[in-house]
Each structure stands twice: as C-alpha cells, then as structure tokens.
Structure 1
Amino acid sequence: MDQLRLRAAEPHEAAAITELARRSKAYWGYSREFLDRVREDLTVHAHQIRAGNVVVAEDGTTLLGYYRLGGAPPDGELADLFVDPGAIGTGLGRRLWDHAVGQARERGFRSLELEADPNAEPFYLHVGATKTGERQVASGRTLPVLRVDLR
C-alpha cells in the first residue's frame, strides 16, 4: 500500500465498489445464497456517490476499501465500511474509520450510528464505538447497533 490515497468516489465506480462490498462480506464465510439475499444492502448506487457520501481507498489504480456516510446533522450514520479481503489486517480499516470520523465532524455530526456485521463488531468496539443495542434487519438477521460520540 505504498501509494494509498483516500478520495471521493466517482459515479462510474458504483459497480466496482459494490463488488468490493460483496467480496469483503464473502470473506467471512457467508454463502452465495445469503450474499444474493443481501445484494441490495451491499449495492452502492451512483446517486449515493454523487451526493458526496462515498470515499474510496486506492493503491495506484486498485480499489482497496470504501466507506459511506448517511444521515444529516446532528446525528449521522456510517452506512458502509468495507475493506477488500487482501487488505484486511493491514490497518486500512482503521484509516477508513479515522477518515470517516473526521469527515463526519466536518459535516457537523455529533454522533455516528452503525449496524455492524457480527464479525466486524470487535473492530468497531476497538476503535471507540459502543454497543447501544441490536436491530432486526430485512435479511432476517439481528445485528449489533453501535454508536460513536464525535463531540
């Protein structure tokens, strides 16, 4: 990751970002059936990118991760944060998290809430989020809900 750069995503990258999300989710051993069931949850649309809510991490021309913010101040949402399987464990997730928190503060958010994949919950707790509960989601799963105070 010699040339790692974080930048605003471009609308034409929506399909590549979506594929990265699917690869990242599959890393945790989810079946193709499950991945198909949550396809829409893992899809990033060009209109979301045009809204300025998606930031990608790239090394040269290789897309390695991204995050997506949602909501409106004062309380926002970390809608997505995914790292390509080859970059998991390299510190990229932490860099994306730190960048997302910085961007959220700049936008006037006082807090960020997120629904975490159970496999990612330890990461979010490690970087300072606290578990506030659980939520049943459309896929039928119950996901941990976490929050980070940005004040």
Structure 2
Amino acid sequence: MSRIIRPPAIEELPALSALCFRSKAVWGYDSDFMEACRGELSIDPSDLRYTSIAVAEQDGGLAGVAQIKVTGSDADLLKLFVEPAVLRSGIGRALFAWAADLATSQGADRLLIEADPDAAPFYRRMGARDVGLAPSGSIPGRTLPKLVKDLCSIS
C-alpha cells in the first residue's frame, strides 16, 4: 500500500468536496442535515489562497483531505475528512500529523478543532483536550465540541 500527503490540484476540488460530504454522512445524518452542511463541506478555489490544504492519496486514489488556517499563534483545523472505505487505516492520523506539523512550522502554538460529536473521540486520541462548545456553522442552535491540541513541546 502506497500513501502520500500532497497539495491538491485545483481540478480535484469538486472530488474532494464530494469526499468530505461522503465522510460526514457516515455518522448517519439525514438528507436535510447533510444539505444544510454542504457549503461548509465544500472546498472552493479561493481556499487554496487563504488556507493550507493537504490530500491523502492511497494506491493512486483520493483517500482524505485536511485544511488548516494559521492566524498568529492559533491554527484552525477547518477540515479533516477520510474516504469512508479507508476509515481506520491511518489516513486520519497522517492528515492530523500534517496539520499539526504545518501549524507548528508556521508559528502556531495551538490547533483549534470544532469537531463533529462523533469525530471528537478521534481528536482526543490525537492528544486534543475539550475546552467547551462552539456553534455549528451550518445548523442554527447546534453546538459542537471544541477541542485544542497544544503544539508547543517543552524542551
């Protein structure tokens, strides 16, 4: 099995948005909920200018995507989605490591995560801790677990 993490090509953005949508759907949400989230799950060409995006490719196919935005000492994990067929294969872990490493290299001390409630246990396993709740960007009145991964290492 060959796996690489690389930048996306602009022509891959529709396929990556579809991957995000499929990945979110694994949690069993109904079609109305999923449609309400479509905008937030999409990757726009302007995202390539204002954020950093990585694609996980496995055996020549798209396997996952992550997106971060660094602002000062904070980095926001905007997206981390894995193709449902390869969940629990290490793709999410590899993309999380990419996000943390890039954020650190760009001067961030913390990785901020607003997680789907079903994805929060993954982030906790990656060393993130709960710091409260955040409002959903798609569903009025819904809140999401807010987690933080400290990126500074004490030497």
Indicate whether 1:145 and 2:146 are aligned: yes
Partner Cα distance (2:8, 2:46) in 1: 11
Partner Cα distance (1:94, 1:59) in 2: 14
Contact 2:70 2:106 in 1 (8 A): no
Give the C-alpha shift of residue 73 in structure 1: 2.2
Partner Cα distance (1:106, 1:147) in 2: 17
Listed one character per residue, the Cα deviations across residues 20-45 of structure 1 (whole Å, up to 9, x for unaligned) are 00000011111111110111110111
Deviates more, 1:134-143 or 1:90-99: 134-143
Give the C-alpha shift of residue 47 in structure 1: 1.3
The secondary structure found in structure 2 opposite 1:36 is helix
Listed one character per residue, the Cα deviations across residues 101-137 of structure 1 (whole Å, up to 9, x for unaligned) are 1111111111110100000000001110010000122
Q: Identity percentage over the alignment?
A: 35
Partner Cα distance (2:31, 2:98) in 1: 31
Q: Which residue of 1 aligns with 2:14?
A: 15
Counting only pairs closer than 5 Å after superposition, residues 15-94 of structure 1 correspond to structure 2 as: 15-51=14-50, 53-94=52-93
Give the C-alpha shift of residue 91 in structure 1: 1.4
Contact 1:10 1:49 in 2 (8 A): no
Contact 1:12 1:46 in 2 (8 A): no
TM-score (norm 2): 0.92
The secondary structure found in structure 1 opposite 2:55 is strand
Counting only pairs closer than 5 Å after superposition, residues 107-146 of structure 1 correspond to structure 2 as: 107-138=106-137, 139-140=139-140, 141-146=142-147
User: What residue ranges of structure 2 are gaps of 5+ in the alignment?
Assistant: none
Give the C-alpha shift of residue 52 in structure 1: 5.4
Contact 2:3 2:58 in 1 (8 A): yes
TM-score (norm 1): 0.94
CA RMSD across the alignment: 1.2
User: What residue ranges of structure 1 are gaps of 5+ in the alignment?
Assistant: none
Residue type of the partner of 1:102? D
Residue type of the partner of 1:133? G
